[in-house]
Amino acid sequence: MNITIVGGGSFGTSIGNQLANNRLNKVTLFVRNNLQAKEINELNTNKKYFPNTRLNKFLLASTDVKTIEKAEIIFLALPSKRIPKIIEELKGHVDKNVLFVNLSKGFYKDGFTIVEYLQGVLDTDNVVTMKGPTFASELINNAHSIFTLGFNSKSQYATIKKIFTDTNIYIDYTTDIRGVELLSVLKNIYAILIGIVDAKYNSPNTRFMILTKAYSEMRILLKQLGGREDTLFLSCGFGDLGITSLNDLSRNRTLGLLIGKGFYRNESKKNKVTVILEGLKTIKIINKLLSTGIKKRLSLFTKLESFFSNKETDFDIYFDLLLDKKMKTILTYGTFDLLHYGHIEILRRSKELGDRLVVGISTDEFNKVKGKKCKISYEKRKEFLDAVGYVDLVIPETDWNQKIDDIKNNEIDVFVMGDDWEGKFDFLKKYCEVIYLPRTTGISTTKLKSIIDKND
Q: Is 181 helix (H, G, I), strand (E, B) or coil?
A: helix
Beta pairing partners, 359: 332, 394
Q: How far apart are CA 431 and CA 418, in angstroms?
A: 19
Question: 231, 144 in Cβ contact below 8 A?
Answer: no
Q: For residue 15, give Cα distances in angstroms to 27, 58, 140, 181, 253.
A: 10, 13, 8, 18, 23
* Half-sphere exposure (Cβ direction) of 174: Cα atoms closer than 13 Å: 24
Q: How far apart are CA 93 and CA 68, in angstroms?
A: 6
Q: How far apart are CA 255 and CA 312, in angstroms?
A: 15
Q: Considering the candidates 47, 311, 370, 373, report the single residue annotated as catalytic.
A: 370
Give catalytic status of residue 85 as yes or no. no
Q: How far apart are CA 18 and CA 15, in angstroms?
A: 5
DSSP category for residue 235: I
Give catalytic status of residue 372 as yes or no. yes
Question: Which has the closest alpha carbon to 136: 48, 303, 9?
Answer: 9
Question: 80, 12 in Cβ contact below 8 A?
Answer: no
Phi then psi for 67, rounded to 5 degrees?
-60, -40
The DSSP line for 257-271 is HHHHTT---TT-SS-
SS3 content of the chain, % helix, strand, coil (to 5): 50, 15, 35
Q: Considering the candidates 81, 284, 372, 375, report the single residue annotated as catalytic.
A: 372
Q: How far apart are CA 139 and CA 18, in angstroms?
A: 8
For the chain, give the number of residues. Answer: 456
Question: Which has the closest alpha carbon to 401: 425, 385, 418, 382?
Answer: 425
DSSP category for residue 108: -
The DSSP line for 47-106 is TTTBTT-PPPTT-EEE--THHHHH-SEEEE-S-GGGHHHHHHHHGGGS-TTPEEEE----
Give, for 169, the enclosing helix (H) or strand (E).
strand 169-174
Q: How far apart are CA 230 and CA 213, in angstroms?
A: 18
What is the set of active-site residues?
A: 370, 372
